[in-house]
Structure 1
């Protein structure tokens, strides 16, 4: 008697299985001792080595915080490696120059990002944080506090301009929203 073979069609008459079939998926665990999270972030075991550790995101960040890309290289080798990589990445630099790529999620303009930089804030800062940072920095360099100080006056003008750019952008967002 000929027994029917179990199919991988999952009950759909003309559909094939979803890629592999019924086998269990292989999951690689984090290489950090005692960690049971998925190890999906490769990290080199040593500079200039093809061997990799596979860490979870938390342990990869911890490992990479102390990483020295040029460890074990002489100053000449490090300079050569740096110049090679700058040459290889020059296309990205050109695209950044032409505004094809940039920081942030696209919700802020370059002027807004520069203004946030002047205020010392992250690109995703809320407007309340902008107002607080502007007030605290403006109090330090205000012309009434530091009269006859040209650098303080210049810094105050830069802070004022940054605040105006961010305030106008916030008003536009509120008006659209």
Structure 2
């Protein structure tokens, strides 16, 4: 009579792997044409629809870039909704370092985004582009170029403040990183 073999499933550590099956796992690819990355970020195909696109992180960010959460609300409703969202999500600000890295993906503050709007730049602009845009716009409205023009002086001040906000943010990023 053959001797009984002992199982490898006794005690700790478990000697056999937990997922001992050898069949292939299915990986859903990004729904963006010609993208070979795994599609693990769902995005709605239409408002109030259960159907979803499955994008990679890059294409999900691109898809959501133009999304206006407050579309159709008047100014008062928009302000109230913004305030409630900020108070409800205050805990997430502490853990912002767990988010995706890089500019243009939520790593810029609201002040930085307003400053980029003043300089007419995209959210993913690097500091060299910010510096260039500031210099071009500041030259056009500088008080030495347009003396006595109150509008130009005000625009120059806006540009200066915007540049200072973006410069301070860049310095913080360099200091952290």
TM-score after normalising by structure 2: 0.52
Within 2, Cα distance between the matches of 1:172 and 1:44? 36
How does 1:158-177 map onto structure 2 within 5 Å? Answer: 158-164=158-164
C-alpha change, 1:20 and 1:61, in structure 2 (3 Å) is same
Could you tell me which of 12, 16, 35 is aligned with 1:14?
A: 12
C-alpha change, 1:168 and 1:91, in structure 2 (3 Å) is closer
C-alpha change, 1:36 and 1:110, in structure 2 (3 Å) is closer
Matching residue of 1:39 = 39
Within 1, Cα distance between the matches of 2:65 and 2:92? 30
Could you tell me which of 86, 92, 100 is aligned with 2:85?
A: 92
Q: Tell me by how many angstroms 1:57 deviates.
A: 4.6
Within 2, Cα distance between the matches of 1:65 and 1:164? 26
The 3-state SS of whatever aligns with 2:54 is strand
Q: Deviations over 1:72-114 (max 9, x none)?
A: xxxxxx77xxx7xx86x76432257899478854xx8876665
Q: Tell me by how many angstroms 1:58 deviates.
A: 5.8
Q: Tell me by how many angstroms 1:64 deviates.
A: 6.0
C-alpha change, 1:95 and 1:26, in structure 2 (3 Å) is same
Which runs of no fewer than 5 residues in structure 2 stay unpaired? 97-104
Larger radius of gyration: 1
Aligned length: 157
C-alpha change, 1:22 and 1:124, in structure 2 (3 Å) is farther
Q: Tell me by how many angstroms 1:154 deviates.
A: 0.8
Within 1, Cα distance between the matches of 2:58 and 2:176? 38
The 3-state SS of whatever aligns with 2:50 is coil
RMSD over aligned Cα atoms = 5.1
C-alpha change, 1:95 and 1:21, in structure 2 (3 Å) is same
C-alpha change, 1:66 and 1:176, in structure 2 (3 Å) is closer
Matching residue of 1:72 = none
How does 1:27-66 map onto structure 2 within 5 Å? Answer: 27-31=27-31, 36-57=36-57, 60=60
Matching residue of 1:125 = 126
Within 2, Cα distance between the matches of 1:33 and 1:112? 33
Which runs of no fewer than 5 residues in structure 1 stay unpaired? 70-77
The 3-state SS of whatever aligns with 1:43 is strand
